[in-house]
């Protein structure tokens, strides 16, 4: 389904420490996954849903990333680059791209292999009038993830990091993929390190801003390629037709 939101910020500035030694010589976004750069899978996801203006938030390995990805023409998208001069963390990196954003946008971590319907997520975001919509996954074991609890209408009621039990029974965790209204940029200080998970999202919830969860269908493939184990698992899954 084509998305009514056509811009995104992709966070690919991290050092990739959990993937060392693979990331000593190249940034995580360019690690080969079935002979293609890891970040190509997200770019292709956006392209399939008509999200054509992508801001690549870069830092470590910025020049190598620019040289490899270019202007995005091979995928039918337009790639723009913003580089951090100092570490800005996740929300700070999004704020650093504010001058390239006009209207609602997606934001995501750059180490995901995901097959979510961005059109359906974008429509849910716009229909609820959310400031932030979180793409959630229901999992059996929530202990390794950030739990996001919502009420019956889908409005976020709590963020809980790496707990063993969800009293709501929904077991919905943060996938690292968001739809955001442009007003969210006003809540992020400029040119300072600021975290989505530790500062921005809890602050917005405390302020009573409209945050909603959208739960991806259970058959959607998702992998966070942030560790050696998941890097290998993702190769195996894709080779198996995931």
Residues classed as catalytic: 162
Find how far residue 240's CA is from the centre of its chain: 25
Percent helix, strand and coil across the chain, each to the nearest 5 = 35, 30, 40
Find how far residue 231's CA is from the centre of its chain: 17
Radius of gyration of the chain from Cα atoms? 17
Backbone angles phi, psi at 234, to 5 degrees: -70, -40
> What distances in angstroms separate CA 79 from CA 85, 96, 120, 168, one per listed residue?
19, 15, 23, 40
């Amino acid at each position: 389904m084509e998305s009514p939101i056509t811009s995104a910020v992709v966070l690919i500035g991290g050092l990739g420490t959990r993937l060392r030694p693979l990331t000593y010589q190249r940034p995580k976004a360019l690690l080969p996954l079935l002979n293609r750069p890891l970040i190509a899978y997200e770019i292709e996801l956006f392209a399939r849903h008509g999200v054509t203006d992508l801001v690549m938030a870069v830092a470590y390995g910025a020049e190598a990333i620019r040289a490899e990805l270019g202007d995005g023409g091979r995928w039918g998208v337009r790639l723009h680059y913003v580089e951090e001069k100092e570490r800005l963390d996740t929300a700070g990196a999004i704020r650093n791209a504010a001058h390239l954003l006009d209207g609602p946008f997606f934001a995501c971590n750059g180490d995901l292999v995901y097959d979510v319907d961005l059109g359906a997520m974008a429509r849910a975001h716009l229909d609820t009038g959310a400031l932030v919509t979180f793409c959630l996954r229901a999992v059996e074991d929530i202990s390794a993830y950030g739990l996001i609890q919502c009420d019956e209408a889908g409005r976020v009621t709590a963020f809980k990091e790496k707990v063993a039990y969800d009293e709501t029974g929904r077991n919905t965790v943060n996938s690292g993929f968001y739809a955001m209204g442009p007003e969210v940029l006003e809540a992020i200080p400029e040119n300072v390190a600021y975290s989505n998970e530790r500062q921005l999202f809890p602050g917005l919830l405390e302020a009573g801003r409209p945050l909603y969860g959208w739960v991806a269908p259970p058959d959607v493939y998702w992998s966070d390629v942030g560790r050696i184990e998941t890097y290998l698992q993702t190769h195996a899954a894709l080779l198996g037709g995931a």
